[in-house]
């Protein structure tokens, strides 16, 4: 599933991808919308609960993915 998210983000010109291939997080920006604003909008419209992070001068949306399997 994570690979699908990374491929979708990396292959779409509306996104800027910041995360590494082996990471459990997908870090990105979308259409120049500030990360804090995009995270707030996604939360307020009950679409997705994401956070944002910063590295050097870049601030980006940070989506953490994990696979939980119930035994």
C-alpha 28: how far from chain center: 5
Vertex 33 angle, CA 47 and 31, to 5°: 95
The string of pLDDT tens digits covering residues 3-53 is 445 556 667 888 888 877 677 778 889 888 999 999 998 889 888 788 888
User: Rounded distance, CA 34 to CA 48, Å?
Assistant: 16
Domains of the chain, by residue range, sit at 2-64
pLDDT above 60: residue 2: no
CATH 3.90.1150.10 correct for 2-64? yes
CB atoms within 10 A of CB 64: 13
pLDDT value, residue 34 = 94
Cα torsion through 2, 67, 46, 25, rounded to 10: -40
The pTM of the full predicted model, rounded to 2 decimals, is 0.70
pLDDT value, residue 35 = 92
């Amino acid at each position: 599933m994570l690979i699908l998210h990374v491929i979708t983000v990396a292959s779409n010109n509306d996104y800027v991808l910041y995360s590494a291939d082996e990471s459990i997080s997908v870090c990105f920006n979308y259409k120049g919308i500030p990360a804090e604003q995009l995270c707030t909008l996604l939360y307020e419209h009950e679409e997705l609960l994401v956070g944002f992070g910063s590295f050097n001068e870049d601030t980006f949306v940070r989506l953490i993915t994990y696979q939980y399997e119930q035994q």
